[in-house]
Structure 1
Amino acid sequence: MRIAILALEGLFDTGLTVLLDAFALANQFSAAQMGGTPHFDVSIVGVRKKVRSAHGLAIPVQAITAGSRPDWVVVPALSTGTPERLVPSLGRPDVRQAKAQLLNWHAEGALIAASCIGTFLVAETGLLDHRQATTTWWLGPLFRQRYPKVLLDESRMLVPSDVGVTAGAAMGHLDLALWLIRRASPKLAALVSRYLLADIRSSQAPYIIPNHLAQADPLIQRFELWARDHLKEGFSLQEAAKALATSARTLQRRCQDVLGKSPLSYFQDLRIEHAQSLLHGSGLGVDAIAAEVGYADGATLRTLLRQRLGRGVRDLRDDLR
């Protein structure tokens, strides 16, 4: 499998090195332990002759030559973790040139993989329009507003499509590498995973901080503050809208546009977050915690934790041991 890692100025150092180390280990195990030849021919390519990482390290890039189509192009994240830094970077000349190159590779039949902020660059090309995708969870609101045609689900860690695959935040680069290795050999992916003490994660949900998402919009931020004061109560869209001096329709629309979910779903996210906090630090039983966050009993809370986070009460409490 020929893999070209597209390196741009100021990329996220960890993302690049995680990808390189994972593929290098896969090749090492393939040759030494499985008696085969290396599965991955990995190159670092760039649209500029000289590229430096966010930490100022020189990256040895190869020039992109005509007729050298890779099987997969991997787009690591830029180290621009806030909207204020990210949006201007998407207009840089080298980024525009990289977008054009991605379209050329795609037209030639290459598949495209991207993780974290790298998903923004792929979305800029329009290749993700009308397709399912994920991105780094804390920039989900920006992604959703900038690329409304993309079917975004930032709760997922990996989302394959006919274009390739997108992966979630920061260490999603490792999940992405393991996913690609598994396509070549599940046994090889299992070896690399065990060596790195890493498994492919299916969800970003346990890591999402609702408060951070709310800051993307003034109305959503006020809704979050109101919701935290009413977690014990049954949710009413009409009451929430009235308290915020807006209409139920406006609140519903803004939640969908910014968060990709209904006000009730976001309200439940806040309940789950508070329940997690109480599980970690309060010493309360599950039934008492359920009452604190507005659920009738502990069984309901247990079910929701499994549905939302993919983990049970015992798993969450074991995190602190």
Structure 2
Amino acid sequence: MNITVLALDGVFDTGLAIVLDALATANELSALQAWPGPPFQVSVVGTRRRVKSALGMGVPVLRAVDCPPPDLVIVPALGYKMPDALQQALDRPDVAEAAAALRDWADAGTRIAAACIGTFVLAESGLLNQHDATTTWWLAPLFRQRYPGVRLDTSHMIVNSGQFVTAGAAFSHIDMTLWLIRQTSPELAALVASYLVVDSRPSQSAYIIADHLSHADPLVERFDRWARAHLDKGFRLDDAASELATSKRTLARRIREVLGKTPVSYVQDLRIERAVHLLKTSTNSVDRIADMVGYADGVTLRTLLRRRLGKGIREIKRA
């Protein structure tokens, strides 16, 4: 398989290294085990003759225009972690050229995978429109605002949408690369994971800090504070909207844009989060904790906790 790794100026050093190291390890282990099949042929390409990483290291690259369409393109992250700096980077001419190259490769049938902030570069091409995707969780509000045509789901670490594969935050580069190796050889992917000591992480949910996301919008931040203060009471969107001096429609729309879920779903997440914390840190019974987080009885809380646990198990089995 011919693989092109697209490295742009400011490429995230760790992301680029993880992809290259995992593929090199796969080639070494495949040769060691004398497994059939050719090795991965990996080239690092750029839209400029000279590319520097986010930490200022030179990255030897081939020019994208000089390379034939590969079987697979991998887009590592750019090293811009905050919205303002990232938006400036995405407006650069070399990113526009990268987006054009991605469209050309896609037209030629090339599969394209992107991780973390690399998903923004792929989304700039327009190729993700009307496709399912994930991205780095703390930049989800910016992603939804900038690419409304993409069906974003940040709960997953990997989202496979046919020709396009996207992965979540920073270290999802290894999850994505192992997933790609697994498409060729599940046994080889498992061996690479063992040698690199990588656990299965099918979901980003455990890493998402809801409080961080809520700060992306003043109205959502106020809703978050109000909801946390009223978890022990029944939730009504009318009450929340009235308290925050806005309409139900505006509140629901802003929560959907920032958090990617409905107000009711978000409040339920907060209740489960609080319940799990109380179960770990207090001596209260499940029935008492259920009352403290707004559920009628312990049976309801136990059912929701089992569903949450069961969902995690199913995601692990699918990975």
Q: How high is the TM-score relative to the length of structure 2?
A: 0.92
Partner of 1:260: 260
Judged with a 3 Å threshold, the aligned counterparts in structure 2 of structure 1 residues 303 and 207 are, in CA distance, closer, same or farther, namely farther
- Give distance in 2, aligned partners of 1:65 and 1:292: 61
Q: How many angstroms apart in 2 are the aligned matches of 1:195 and 1:114?
A: 23
Corresponding residue of 2:192:
192
CA distance in 2, matches of 1:20, 1:283: 49
SS in 1 for 2:43: strand
Q: Matches of 2:44 and 2:67 in 1, distance apart?
A: 16
Aligned match of 1:97: 97
Is the counterpart of residue 74 in structure 1 residue 89 in structure 2? Answer: no
Shift of 1:279: 4.0
In 1, Cα distance between equivalents of 2:55 and 2:103:
29
SS in 1 for 2:109: coil
SS at structure 2 position matched to 1:36: coil
Structure-1 separation of matches of 2:181 and 2:270: 36
One-letter identity of the residue aligned with 1:33: Q
What is the CA distance between 1:197 and its match in structure 2?
Answer: 2.3
Give the 3-state SS of the residue equivalent to 1:174 in structure 2. Answer: helix
Contact 1:31 1:37 (C-alpha < 8 Å) held by counterparts: no
Decide whether the 8 Å contact of 1:12 with 1:76 is kept in 2. Answer: yes
Following superposition, the deviation at residue 63 of structure 1 comes to: 2.1
Structure 2 letter corresponding to 1:57: M
Instruction: Provide structure 2 residue ranges, at least 5 long, that are not aligned to the other structure.
Output: 314-319
Matched residue, 1:41:
41
Secondary structure of 1:5's aligned partner: strand
Cα drift, residue 167 of structure 1: 0.7
How has the CA–CA distance of structure 1 residues 126 and 245 changed in structure 2, closer, same or farther, with 3 Å as cutoff?
Answer: same
Partner of 2:234: 234
Deviations 1:143-194 (A, max 9, x none): 1111111111111111111332011111111110011000000111111112
Q: 1:284 to 1:252 in 2, by over 3 A?
A: same
Distance of aligned partners of 1:28 and 1:274 in 2 relative to their CA distance in 1, 3 Å threshold: same
Give the residue type in structure 1 aligned to 2:8: L
> Shift of residue 304 of structure 1?
2.7
1:171-250 matches, cutoff 5 A: 171-250=171-250
Cα distance change on mapping 1:287 and 1:44 into 2, 3 Å: farther
Deviation at 1:24?
A: 1.1
Partner of residue 133, structure 1: 133
Cα gap change, 1:55 to 1:66, in 2 (>3 Å): closer
Q: Residue in 2 aligned with 1:319?
A: none
Listed one character per residue, the Cα deviations across residues 251-303 of structure 1 (whole Å, up to 9, x for unaligned) are 11211222221111111122222234334444545444333322334443344
Structure 1: runs of 5 or more not aligned: 313-321
Aligned to 2:316: none
Question: What is residue 54 of structure 1 aligned with on the other side?
Answer: 54
Per-residue CA deviations over 1:73-101 (Å, capped at 9, x if unaligned) read: 10011111111111111001111111111
Instruction: Supply the AA of the counterpart residue of 2:76.
Output: P
Q: 2:134, 2:154 within 8 Å by CA — same for their partners in 1?
A: yes
SS at match of 2:166: strand
CA distance in 1, matches of 2:264, 2:115: 29
* Equivalent residue number for residue 12 of structure 1: 12
Amino acid of the structure 1 residue aligned with 2:13: D
Q: How does 1:90-169 map to 2 (within 5 A)?
A: 90-169=90-169
**SS class of match (1:270):** helix
> What percent identity do the matched residue pairs reach?
57
Check conservation: 2:137, 2:154, Cα contact below 8 A.
yes
* Distance in 1, Cα, partners of 2:152 & 2:48: 31
Question: Is the 1:28–1:38 Cα contact (8 Å) retained in structure 2?
Answer: no
DSSP 3-state at the match of 1:138:
helix
Q: Is the 8 A contact 1:27 1:37 kept in 2?
A: no
Match of 1:316 in 2: none
* 1:308 to partner: Cα distance: 4.1
2:102 match: secondary structure: helix
Superposed CA deviations along residues 219-241 of structure 1, whole A, max 9, x for unmatched, are 11110010010111111111111
Amino acid at match of 1:62: L
Q: Tell me how far 1:103 sits from its aligned partner.
A: 1.1
Counterpart Cα distance in 1 of 2:6 and 2:287: 51
User: 2:245 is paired with a residue of what secondary structure?
Assistant: coil
Q: Residue 128 of structure 2 contacts residue 164 of structure 2 at CA under 8 Å; is this kept in 1?
A: no
Q: What code does the residue aligned with 2:3 have?
A: I
**For 2:283 and 2:85, how far apart are their aligned partners in 1?**
41
Are residues 138 and 295 of structure 1, via their aligned partners in 2, closer, same or farther at CA, if it must alter by over 3 Å? same
Size of the aligned set, in residue pairs, is 312
d(CA) in 1 for partners of 2:224, 2:258: 13
Pick which of 86-95 and 251-260 moved more. 251-260
Q: Per-residue displacement from partner, 1:111-147 (whole Å, max 9, x unpaired)?
A: 1100111101111111011111111111111111111
Residues 248 and 65 of structure 1, relative CA distance in 2, 3 Å threshold: closer
The 2-side partners of 1:58 and 1:67 are apart by: 20
| Residue aligning to 1:318 | none
3-state SS of the aligned residue for 1:135? coil
